[in-house]
Amino acid sequence: MRIDLQIDSAPLVLRLRNGQRRLAYAAVNAINNTAKRIQAAERRRVEEEFTVRKKQFILRQAAVIKPFANVKQGRPYAEIGVGQKPRLLLSAFERGAERKPSTQGARRVAEPVVGGPARPRFSQPVPPELRVKRLRFDRTKTGKRRVGVTRTKTYLVPSVGIFQRTGPESSRLVYFFSRGKRLKPRLRFVATAKKESDRWFREEMEKEVLNAISRSKGQGL
């Protein structure tokens, strides 16, 4: 999402000491303040719409401002977007997408069983030691994963799931394998950004211009 600025600056320049320079700073401040308002709105929406398990990490990635508008660098705009960290699915919820396995070469998605050791409650994140990539199953000479027990007492059954031993002759399902699923478009990042920029930019611009006029009067204009 990019915020662009289009205003008729001539009347304002006439009222400002060092008019073009002060107007440029006023516009940049207004753009950056609006971007911060968009960022706050995007984070609120993610928290309301999704089950956020790693709250601080997810909310930081929900709306990243980079770069900010900057006068000295000749950048009269700010860019705000969804973070692109590995395994972060947020951006896929903007238009909808097919969820694919995170492990290279895998054909199925490993879904943690709610109520199991990997996800005791739906709102809880998977413990680091039970993340699929950390289980490190033994491999056979052909490179295939062996149905063997790891240090977490877990083992893999192809096309079924990952189990954990609970006793000499008992096990429980930790992950089940699925072919993936369609992620519905429910983020509404662009729509939210447009709504917030339409709502706040004019107000922020008027505030910054009035501040600039006030400062210029204080310098004897």
* pLDDT score for 209: 87
Is residue 17 very low, low, confident or very high in pLDDT (cuts 50, 70, 90)?
low
Please tell me the distance from the alpha carbon of residue 16 to that of residue 22, in angstroms, as a whole number. Answer: 7
Which residue in this structure is represented by tokens 């204009």? 221
115: left (phi over 0), alpha (psi -120 to 50) or beta: left
Residue-wise pLDDT for 52-95, tens only, equals 888 888 888 999 999 998 888 888 889 999 988 766 788 888 88
* pLDDT score for 221: 43
**Surface-to-core class of residue 43, CB atoms within 10 Å of its CB (0-12 exposed, 13-18 middle, 19+ buried):** middle
Mean pLDDT of 180-199: 90
Is residue 110 very low, low, confident or very high in pLDDT (cuts 50, 70, 90)?
confident
Q: Are 160 and 167 in contact (CB under 8 A)?
A: no
120: left (phi over 0), alpha (psi -120 to 50) or beta: alpha
Question: pTM of the entire structure?
Answer: 0.69
* pLDDT score for 32: 94
Mean pLDDT of 192-197: 94
Please tell me the distance from the alpha carbon of residue 215 to that of residue 221, in angstroms, as a whole number. Answer: 9
Cα→Cα distances 121→60, 171, 181, 207, 219, Å: 23, 19, 21, 47, 62
Is residue 138 very low, low, confident or very high in pLDDT (cuts 50, 70, 90)?
very low
Q: Are 27 and 44 in contact (CB under 8 A)?
A: no
Residue 138 makes CB contacts below 8 A (sequence gap 6+) with 145, 146, 148, 150
Mean pLDDT of 194-214: 91
* Mean pLDDT for the chain overall: 81
Residue-wise pLDDT for 29-55, tens only, equals 999 999 999 999 999 999 989 888 888
Q: Are 181 and 110 in contact (CB under 8 A)?
A: no
* pLDDT score for 195: 94
* pLDDT at residue 141 tops 50: no
* pLDDT at residue 140 tops 50: no
